[in-house]
Amino acid sequence: MSTRARVRAGDPDAFRELFDEHARSVYNHGFRLTGDWSVADDVVSLTFLEAWRLRGRVDDSTDGPLRPWLLGIATNVARNVRRAARRYDVALARLPAPRAVPDFAEEVADRQADRERIAAVRAAMSALRGPEREVLALCVFAGLDYAEAAQALGVPVGTVRSRLSRARKRLTREPLAGPGQVVADRTIAVRLAQEDAR
């Protein structure tokens, strides 16, 4: 039985032989038509699937080579693949442009730095005695002057000054949580310096 007749009859061995003999030729043809190696792979797969589907159209009255028949199928497959790709590109072009997604990396880094600053301030505040912590909170963070802080606490202005002085000394003497950290938080240091300028 001729190869054409075997292909027409759907003989799996005949198709295996057809593939082994012509797959490289179909692949090269697919690449020349599409200019893309991965699309050429698709052309090969689709060509042999289509050849199987169209096997009943093979003329078995002659015994010529099947390569032209396969390359004809590959040409149509490549044309259909290119057409589908164009339709896909047109469909994508009609979609609304994607919204820019903001980069949250900087915000996350800022939040982490804020957490670290807050932890440093809390550690510094916890190193103080209660009355010193209260005066520091009122004068440095709430922005009250000595007289206002004295009024808020119900103590003389001199007591506010002495407690704030002790708080400053303690913050500059006692390091915070770990080695290599700055003694007290920079924010506290700036506010203490502003307090001295009053």
Give residue-wise pLDDT tens across range 5-16.
Answer: 999 999 999 999
- 81: how many CB neighbours lie within 10 A of its CB? 19
Kindly report, residue by residue over 109-148, the tens digit of the pLDDT.
888 888 888 888 778 777 888 888 888 888 887 888 899 8
Alpha-carbon gap, residue 24 to 119, rounded angstroms:
67
Name the band, by pLDDT with cuts 50, 70 and 90, for residue 187: low
86 dihedral zone (left: phi>0; alpha: psi -120 to 50; beta) = alpha
Which domains, ranges and CATH numbers included, belong to the chain?
Answer: 1-101 (1.10.1740.10), 108-197 (1.10.10.10)
